[in-house]
Structure 1
Amino acid sequence: MKIIKIVNNNIVTSLDEQNREIIVMGRGLGFGRKPGMTIDDGKVEKVFRLNSAGENQKLVDIIQDIPLEHIKAADQIIEYAKNMLGEKLKETIYLSLIDHIDGAIERYENQIQFANPLLWEIKQYYPSEFKVGVQSLNILKKMLGIELPVDEAAFIALHFITAEYDTKMDVTFDIPRLIDDIIAIVESEFSIKINKESIHYERFITHLKFFAARVLQAKQMPDDDDFLFRNMIRDQYKESYACAQKIRQHLGECYGVEISEEEVVYLTVHIKRVTMHVD
């Protein structure tokens, strides 16, 4: 590989075998070097291959002033997350997490801490992502000797949730709140307390996470022509359908979203399932 551009002493850009731009990282990789020179393979520690030239440039802009140790720590966290979450992450996780980790370290050094208002919800609704966040704190402590609070584990988890569900961060923040609202409406309408340890609750939450991501991004399931199915659900699950309609009204009033009838019908089915299995 030949150097195309020197980003800093530790980072250069090059081209891969398919002539696509890549970002190559390694201690001293760009020190005293010039474009056109061959990259010292023995110094290469990481190669970033993002999906587009635009994303590559954004990453270059982010990492050019970030210490190498911070980038390496963020990269190790991402590799751990890929193993834990099944590698279903959008490549933009490199952009957001490296920047976030560097900012978290700066806040730590300046003794600035933020409480995470969604700590409970993230632990409850996204246990795998929260586990990644907790392990991230362990990685940062081991690699950099810093000890961040558990609220930071939840902030890190939010970045992985965003990368998994391909949402924007403001949408990711709204999803747990929307789920909270739906759970509260269901429990109120049926005068029940849903068993948070049951498999039926887990399935309900899984549906709500995708449901929330769709409606908050205007990517809902469109109404189809299966009127027979919709009428059957309305007739057989009257109480659950009435509850779904209250949820529809609430989301319209509080989040400014319109819920399609198709979404309401499938929400009805899931409400029926979770309310059938209450101790």
Structure 2
Amino acid sequence: MRINRVLNNNVVVVKEGDEEIIVMGSGIAFGKRKNDIISTDKIEKVFVMKDEREYEKFTQIIDQLPEAHIILAEEIITQAENELKTKLNEHIHVALTDHISFAIERFKQGYQIHNKLLNEIRVLYSTEFEIGLWAIRHIEKQIGIRLPEDEAGHIALHLHTAKVNSTSMNQAINTTALLNELIELIEEKLDVKVEQESISYQRLLTHLNFALRRVAEGEAFQDVDEDMHQLVKEKHHIAYNVAVELANYLAEVHQYDLPPSELVYLTLHIQRIQRTKIDEVGQ
């Protein structure tokens, strides 16, 4: 491979036909200049950025951010692609690198990193969250800085939205924030603190997430016969009333219209949360 452009000591651009390829490796460009040949045994990562705007942003980041932060971000991206078994959107090279560097600098300056949506992210994007935890350990190992677990949630969102056919970052954050609102509403109506490590919480959150997605994408919901609906309504009337309030809130505030059948499933999930409170009172 022959160098077309040196970005820094660890990153070069080579050209194959009309395509510019980014090649990374420790010290791969040290003492090199345009048209020099690079040693293949120094190559650690190769990728293409077909979007010219993303390519320009990436080259700017390389000029502006510490090399150590760029290398860390690329190592996290490689780990994520291996774990998720998919190529991530090329924007991740810009977005995650910028985010990682900013998080490290904020931490050095003593700013607290807080992620209000951490528990929801942990459940909804569990694989990405585990990669986020790996990233925190990796950052500590490489540069001696231990970012808080909250940061694993931020990294997880970046990875989730970089998957092919995934939602945008704004959509993912908005949906996760809405789910957080719904959990808080349930806690308020039942006068209970939901145990966020419990299976009941995880099942409720996952169900709500899929319900919102079905509404947004116009997918059909599973029908429930009227007898079953009436039975659940009478047997679990407190949980059912909370489910109705949730449905009204979604319709009035967020324009999500849940079908009547969904009230049955929501009631059963909410009842499990209520059951936890009853069990605690009885002890």
* Shorter-chain TM-score above 0.5: yes
Residues 115, 153 of structure 2: 8 Å contact kept: yes
Three-state SS of the structure 2 residue aligned to 1:108 is helix
Could you tell me how far apart the structure 2 residues matched to 1:221 and 1:137 are?
Answer: 34
**TM superposition score normalised by structure 2:** 0.71
Would you say how many aligned residue pairs link Structure 1 and Structure 2? 266
State whether residues 23 and 43 of structure 2, in contact with CA within 8 Å, keep that contact through their aligned partners in structure 1: yes
**CA distance in 1: counterparts of 2:92 and 2:109, whole angstroms:** 25
Q: Measured at CA, do residues 65 and 30 of structure 1 come closer, stay the same or move farther in structure 2, by a change above 3 Å?
A: farther
How far apart in 2 are the matches of 1:82 and 1:211?
Answer: 28
What residue number does 1:221 align with?
217
- 2:255 corresponds in structure 1 to 258
Q: 1:151 to 1:197 in 2, by over 3 A?
A: closer
Counterpart of 1:178? 178
User: Contact (CA 8 Å) 1:23, 1:56: kept in 2 or not?
Assistant: no
After superposition, the C-alpha distances for 1:190-234 in whole angstroms (9 at most, x for unaligned) are 89987866766544433433444x48xxx823277x9xx76x557
**1:151 maps to which residue?**
150
**Equivalent-residue separation in structure 1 for 2:2 and 2:260 (angstroms):** 57
1:16-27 pair list within 5 angstroms: 16=16, 19-27=18-26
**Does structure 1 residue 75 correspond to structure 2 residue 74?**
yes
Identity %: 35
Paired residues for 1:1-279 under 5 Å: 1-16=1-16, 19-50=18-49, 52-87=51-86, 89-164=88-163, 166-185=166-185, 202-212=202-212, 214=213, 220-222=216-218, 236-237=228-229, 239=233, 246-254=245-253, 257-260=254-257, 264=259, 267-268=262-263, 270-271=265-266, 274-275=269-270, 279=275
| Structure 1 residues 167 and 146: alpha-carbon distance in aligned structure 2, compared to 1, 3 A threshold | same
Instruction: Give the SS at the match of 2:217.
Output: coil
What TM-score does the superposition give when structure 1 sets the normalisation length? 0.72
Read off the aligned partner of 2:47 and give its amino acid letter.
F
Structure 1: unaligned runs, 5 residues or longer: none
CA contact (8 A) 1:24 1:44 kept: yes
Q: CA deviation at 1:131?
A: 2.8
Structure 1 range deviating more: 183-192 or 23-32: 183-192
1:161-208: CA deviation from partner (whole Å, max 9, x where unpaired)? 333573333333333331133345557778998786676654443343
Distance 2:42 2:172 in 1: 38
